[in-house]
Chain A
């Protein structure tokens, strides 16, 4: 056996100089040979800690072994048992906080963990390029409506179609995919990949109806009456604003708007596409999550002279994926740690000219255990800016909830659902993903979808059984 290398097999990526001016994918993926090499680093641990730290418990050593053996078909079959969206998860899951964090190899001195995410991506991309013929089975077990076509809704839909249900997904926007389409940028998650994954779910016989806002175009009660069960996966994308002075100045965006313009509406190709976006010059992004990174890196690609991220805590607390942070630094994005905005400044035409900030220091720990940032009196300073993007978190998408009060929500405005069964206050209505947990991750949304599909199957099977026994 060859000696294991300490480091992960290097992966091809676009050069930072080049990629910060285009929207093409940054990380280019392993070749089959590189994948086999990386797979051979795996220790095939009996206790498989990686798997235990995967929210959907993918048999990680199992598929890695298949890669090592050069059996890509075997590898894809293993992943398919646990995930419908491998090409997406392989790219966007926070592996460093999940499987790769727990990896035995990575926990030993000097070694980096196995590049599990990149291997998953390799298998799933191969799978998309070498599709298996789909077996469309009769959909005669019942009819299910899914509200929202994000990763959660798509997972429920795919799983139930495979189990023999007729599934219709209703999506408010023109294109299905939820955040995968309108939020996460092309350079991290190519839309062609998302489309391929969605086409596959369509091939299973799932019907996706776009331009339908549940609560407006069709009411939730109508769905409850028309279908045997419903799944609510409407997400949590409604932007919060800090509401500091100057929020309505031109040049101030929510990250949701900024990214929607770019991703869903392709404003980076204006005027070929009709939706405009302000030219990026001096850009300030507020926040420290994935959404902030995506906004900053998108602004860079629109040709900004400079982009800075201001975050009220420090690097250690940064919630973004660490890979994305490193990428952003390579691309020239600057950071102001322990800084908070207090006002937007504008000129007489209402155009943003700067962000007035204040320095913070970390004080006593708060309820979350993190040290609470407190402002340092007299430390105000101004960062010149023509664009400011607030990426400080999102709340529940309310359009459907506001028109369907039967569905109980919690004090944060999210749907009150049992996390183990996805059941809600309305029998036959299940819910999961961001609308239950608040803004979280693709894999958690998908995991909820898996559970819900199982529960919905049971619910409808029991209902049907009861009906038949009554009529007998």
Chain B
């Protein structure tokens, strides 16, 4: 059992948990994730380790409610216990001094990007960070990213903070202005795909963090397979980060929709039950 030690609702739909998991806290590196199963009937959901506190044995996760499991997880208040938390899984981000790096995060992907921002800054890079969201009130981790960025550019759909527009516009500006040695893009599939196009156009290699459906997270089922450079790779062990230019985006995005019907059914049933209670 893994205890939730702190619970916070960050925005209407995004939540943060600190979980007591000393072994994971001791070892986790930027880019790695955990798989959580809340209870006996639960599914295994992967969530990025956003931060660790090795001294107190705590890990921090941030998630967006989009379906049944995340809705249920949002009910795990301080003091409650999660049945399974396993990790740190995946290959860590290649943190080193590249020179000048550009990091782009969108929506809840910012939570997954933040440890990389921090890690790259600490490794001596000049860090330019672009964060994007629909509007100001759902733009998470602004101050924390600012702390580890030499420059922070905010983009919102409605212009409520920063500039009005898409993260790719900010990327274009940066690429036109200066030499970037390595880029990262973490967010919804469609965003990462367009970020890859922009970066590739400017000949800048870009890492993306792929979040396909997973089960075991240890390379034993092949559910998380993605095609990269025409080869089948397992995102849970070979990734989740890959160079965006090689990713077969069509099949990646298609596979995310595999269980749409069942997911909808489960969520509706859960909502109904909650209303009754």
Contacts and interface: CB of A to CB of B under 8 A. Distances in A.
Contacts of A22: none
A397 B254 CA distance: 27
B248 A248 contact: yes
A264 B232 CA distance: 24
Contact of A274 (B24, B69, B84, B227): B69
Contacts of B68: 274
A274 B69 CA distance: 8
Given A172-B216, A272-B41, A398-B219, A248 B86 contact: no
B220 A397 contact: yes
B115 interface: no
Interface in A231-258: 237-239, 241, 243, 247-250, 253-254, 256-257
A319 interface: no
B218 to A, nearest CB: 5
A260 interface: yes
B176 interface: no
A261 B215 contact: yes
B88 A271 contact: no
B190 interface: no
Nearest to A209: B23
A239 B224 CA distance: 12
Interface residues of B, number: 44
- Pick from B44, B222, B232, B259 the residue with the most CB of A within 10 Å: B222
B84 to A, nearest CB: 5
Contact of A217 (B87, B252, B265, B269): B87
Interface residues of A, number: 42
B94 interface: no
Given A174-B37, A210-B84, A273-B41, A397 B255 contact: no
Interface in B198-237: 215-216, 218-223, 225-227, 232, 237
Nearest to B237: A399
A257 B221 CA distance: 4
B216 A260 contact: yes
Given A260-B220, A275-B44, A398-B219, A241 B23 contact: no
Contacts of B24: 217
A265 interface: yes
A323 to B, nearest CB: 27
A397 B218 contact: yes
B215 A257 contact: yes
A427 interface: no
A270 interface: yes
A250 B254 contact: yes
Given A172-B86, A271-B269, A238 B41 contact: no
A196 interface: no
B216 A173 contact: yes
B43 interface: yes
Contacts of A249: 251, 254
A337 to B, nearest CB: 26
Contacts of A238: 219-220, 222
B139 interface: no
B262 interface: yes
B219 A397 contact: yes
B266 A250 contact: no
A264 B221 CA distance: 12
A260 B215 contact: yes
Given A265-B215, A275-B215, A248 B84 contact: no
B222 A213 contact: no
A360 B83 CA distance: 49
B232 A243 contact: yes
Given A243-B232, A257-B221, A399-B219, A250 B258 contact: yes
Given A217-B86, A275-B43, A276-B259, A172 B215 contact: no
Contacts of A239: 220-222
Nearest to A266: B41
Contacts of A247: 225, 232
Interface string B122-144: 00000000000000000000000
Interface in A204-218: 210-213, 216-218
A350 interface: yes
A226 interface: no
A256 B86 CA distance: 20
A317 interface: no
B186 interface: no
Contacts of A218: 23
A278 interface: yes
Contacts of A264: 215
Contact of B89 (A213, A266, A275, A349): A213
A217 B68 CA distance: 28
A260 B265 CA distance: 22
Contact of B23 (A212, A250, A254, A397): A212
B85 interface: yes
Contacts of B263: 276
Interface of B: 23-24, 27, 37, 41-44, 68-69, 83-89, 215-216, 218-223, 225-227, 232, 237, 248, 250-252, 254-255, 257-259, 262-263, 265-266, 269
19 contacts: A213-B87, A216-B87, A217-B88, A239-B221, A241-B232, A243-B232, A248-B225, A249-B254, A250-B255, A250-B257, A250-B258, A265-B43, A265-B44, A271-B266, A273-B43, A274-B69, A276-B259, A276-B266, A350-B257
Given A256-B220, A271-B262, A273-B43, 13 more contacts: A174-B83, A212-B86, A216-B27, A217-B87, A241-B225, A247-B225, A250-B257, A254-B221, A254-B222, A257-B222, A270-B262, A273-B42, A274-B69
